Chain A
């Protein structure tokens, strides 16, 4: 198996009062080198927590309570704080949602770029600065040399997200965790940034874990999709297959919203009802209270992941042994 990232049976718990809430429950997926995995789901489904766990940035009260995370075949969830730090930014980079707040307002863009490179790469300050200028040019910022001296507030939102991308790519990472990278941007700029992200990954062979709630984005960019619901993976498989033949009722509900591509979250929640909150977990399949096709077993027993074509689906309907809803 030549997966770049392997997440196996990941479990994240949040300590609250006397009990521990389960935020991520038995999540497994892998990303191959150069592959784009879309992670989609409603807010609160556990997409961002998963990304954060991969980055090793979970903070109390959230803790990884089980499972393994392997990067390039090497286990990273057990690395020391310093070991993980050395990996972050160099091998695994991140892009966060809001470019307006991702940059230190008191430091010039050039300094932030140089600082990151000097931390991870053996280069001199002058080399770093020269490289920073090239990076800005690569992410499409006009007059990059002058912009090195600019402070974040002097740039527009789109420009800032380009800077964030430059920061993510500056040490040539092999994996980028992009958490809603375009959500905070104007619709017109979203496409530009997305194109940029896709182009840069392709050029460098960088893999991406693209967290979003926007099926449209997924359809456009991702090679494979993981659909998350209430801290679990509902269905994971090639994008094409999921769009065409979604096996999980929840995925089908999501797909129904694709015609209105690039709309916001409301479309996603067109399915009546609400996702269970971690403090009120649902027995059996987490989706069953909202599922139009649910039957007795759904409420009683949690479905494992059944292979359906190239995909895996956590639904009793996908059980090869399933014969149809008993009358």
Chain B
């Protein structure tokens, strides 16, 4: 329980910091006025708009107003889109989440087995090749990968779409591209682009962890017990390898969200990243503020998921129940 309380405290802290950063943005970034008036507006018009937005109030007043609104989930109306920020984010969030999830699934689903395999076959040529390729994967800038994939698979071969999300299906308030052929096709290039770096990273990490676990005493003891190699590698080593890997996968999720900004720019993927890069360009502060808080929230949710995964896998974390039975 105290474990969860501590997590909650941390989440609140993160949210507070996020709001502060969001407010700092609100106060200091860009002059939104120019984005809201046309080219024919006079300087007097501009002043009027500035007053209407409350940009002339003292900072403290603006901060108080910001916090008050944020607590009610109200981040105001986007300067750029003229719609409530919460609605805009809600509309775009599914696209980014699906993209991030799928790329993480690709990265984890391939990265962990490859990492384990290369760890178990340290000397083999294929393992060395895979390692070298993974280094290239870590070293390649995401934007270059995206451009190259478009050139090859969209323009060159014409197999996969170069932009957008394809046909989406609405499930309640959620739109998903996972249920249509065109939606799935559209997902391929962006999620691969986003996943390459993570794949390489996770593979290398899984390999390093696996190697480390394979040197532990309990694996040595398991060998001394005459267990079959498969049992040692998969029943014992792999499960112990997964713990740190899960932590990293959780942490990397934040990075995937950030890198989705680049991928969404390259592929015109209609998600939050595209929204936020526009928000930065147009100094759309309410939108930025909402985005920041959402990122912090996502972080909290992912952390919770990681904690739950730990509880599921690692009996040592289920402390309280076990304590009653200890000698």
Among residues of A, the one whose C-beta sits closest to the C-beta of B227 is A119
Q: Tell me which of A57, A89, A120 has the highest count of chain B C-beta atoms within 10 A of its own C-beta.
A: A89
Do A120 and B226 have beta carbons less than 8 Å apart? Answer: yes
**Surface stretch bound by B, among A98-106, A214-222, A246-254:** A98-106
Do B220 and A86 have beta carbons less than 8 Å apart? Answer: no
Q: Tell me which of A98, A101, A106, A177 has the highest count of chain B C-beta atoms within 10 A of its own C-beta.
A: A106
Within 8 A of A (CB), among B213-268: 216-218, 220-229, 231, 235-236, 239-240
Among residues of A, the one whose C-beta sits closest to the C-beta of B225 is A89
Do A102 and B217 have beta carbons less than 8 Å apart? Answer: yes
Do A107 and B225 have beta carbons less than 8 Å apart? Answer: no
The minimal Cβ–Cβ distance linking B137 to chain A, given in whole angstroms, is: 29
Do B224 and A85 have beta carbons less than 8 Å apart? Answer: no
Do A164 and B221 have beta carbons less than 8 Å apart? Answer: yes
B72 sits at the interface (CB 8 A):
no
**Surface stretch bound by B, among A27-35, A153-161, A227-235:** A153-161
* Docked complex Cα distance between A93 and B221 (Å): 10
Interface residue tally of chain A, by bracket? 20 to 34
- A: residues with CB less than 8 A from B are 55, 57, 85-90, 93-94, 96, 98, 101-107, 115-116, 119-120, 146, 150-151, 153-156, 159, 164, 167, 177
Q: Tell me which of A102, A104, A146, A153 has the highest count of chain B C-beta atoms within 10 A of its own C-beta.
A: A104
The minimal Cβ–Cβ distance linking B197 to chain A, given in whole angstroms, is: 29
Q: Contact check: which of A93, A98, A120, A156 meets B224 at CB < 8 Å? A: A93
- Point out the residues of chain B lying under 8 angstroms from A156, CB to CB: 326-327
Do B236 and A104 have beta carbons less than 8 Å apart? Answer: yes
Q: Contact check: which of B225, B231, B314, B316 meets A88 at CB < 8 Å? A: B225
- Point out the residues of chain B lying under 8 angstroms from A104, CB to CB: 218, 222, 236, 240
Q: Contact check: which of B221, B224, B228, B229 meets A103 at CB < 8 Å? A: B221
Given that A151-B316, A153-B315 are contacting pairs, would A101 and B216 also be in contact in the complex, using a CB cutoff of 8 Å? yes
Q: A107-B236, A120-B226 are in contact. List 7 more A-B contacts (CB 8 A).
A: A57-B220, A87-B226, A88-B225, A89-B225, A96-B224, A151-B322, A156-B326
Among residues of B, the one whose C-beta sits closest to the C-beta of A90 is B226
* Docked complex Cα distance between A141 and B11 (Å): 43
Do A89 and B226 have beta carbons less than 8 Å apart? Answer: yes
B59 sits at the interface (CB 8 A):
no
* Docked complex Cα distance between A101 and B215 (Å): 11
- Point out the residues of chain A lying under 8 angstroms from B236, CB to CB: 104, 106-107
Given that A104-B218, A154-B326, A155-B327 are contacting pairs, would A116 and B224 also be in contact in the complex, using a CB cutoff of 8 Å? no
Given that A104-B240, A107-B236, A150-B325 are contacting pairs, would A88 and B218 also be in contact in the complex, using a CB cutoff of 8 Å? no
B135 sits at the interface (CB 8 A):
no
Do A89 and B217 have beta carbons less than 8 Å apart? Answer: no
The minimal Cβ–Cβ distance linking A166 to chain B, given in whole angstroms, is: 11
- Point out the residues of chain B lying under 8 angstroms from A102, CB to CB: 217-218, 221
Q: Tell me which of A87, A96, A146, A177 has the highest count of chain B C-beta atoms within 10 A of its own C-beta.
A: A96
B37 sits at the interface (CB 8 A):
no
* Docked complex Cα distance between A264 and B85 (Å): 70
- Point out the residues of chain B lying under 8 angstroms from A90, CB to CB: 226
B8 sits at the interface (CB 8 A):
no
Q: Contact check: which of B221, B223, B313 meets A106 at CB < 8 Å? A: B313
- Point out the residues of chain B lying under 8 angstroms from A146, CB to CB: 325
Q: Contact check: which of B216, B223, B227, B314 meets A115 at CB < 8 Å? A: B227
* Docked complex Cα distance between A150 and B322 (Å): 8
Do B327 and A94 have beta carbons less than 8 Å apart? Answer: no
* Docked complex Cα distance between A231 and B223 (Å): 24
A-B pairs, top 4 by smallest CB distance, nearest first, are: A89-B226, A88-B226, A94-B224, A101-B217
- Point out the residues of chain B lying under 8 angstroms from A55, CB to CB: 224
- Point out the residues of chain B lying under 8 angstroms from A86, CB to CB: 226
Do B240 and A151 have beta carbons less than 8 Å apart? Answer: no
Offer 20 A-B interface pairs, CB within 8 angstroms, sorted by A: A55-B224, A86-B226, A87-B226, A94-B224, A104-B240, A105-B316, A115-B235, A116-B227, A119-B225, A119-B227, A119-B231, A120-B226, A150-B322, A150-B325, A151-B322, A153-B315, A154-B326, A154-B327, A156-B327, A159-B327
The minimal Cβ–Cβ distance linking B166 to chain A, given in whole angstroms, is: 42
* Docked complex Cα distance between A12 and B314 (Å): 39
Among residues of A, the one whose C-beta sits closest to the C-beta of B324 is A154
The minimal Cβ–Cβ distance linking B219 to chain A, given in whole angstroms, is: 8
Among residues of A, the one whose C-beta sits closest to the C-beta of B326 is A154
Within 8 A of A (CB), among B75-110: none
| B166-187 contact mask (Cβ, 8 Å, vs A): 1 or 0 | 0000000000000000000000
Do B240 and A106 have beta carbons less than 8 Å apart? Answer: yes
* Docked complex Cα distance between A138 and B323 (Å): 25
* Docked complex Cα distance between A106 and B241 (Å): 11
The minimal Cβ–Cβ distance linking B249 to chain A, given in whole angstroms, is: 18
Q: Tell me which of B222, B239, B316 has the highest count of chain A C-beta atoms within 10 A of its own C-beta.
A: B222
- Point out the residues of chain A lying under 8 angstroms from B224, CB to CB: 55, 57, 88-89, 93-94, 96, 177
The minimal Cβ–Cβ distance linking B108 to chain A, given in whole angstroms, is: 19
Among residues of A, the one whose C-beta sits closest to the C-beta of B318 is A151
* Docked complex Cα distance between A106 and B311 (Å): 11
* Docked complex Cα distance between A102 and B313 (Å): 19
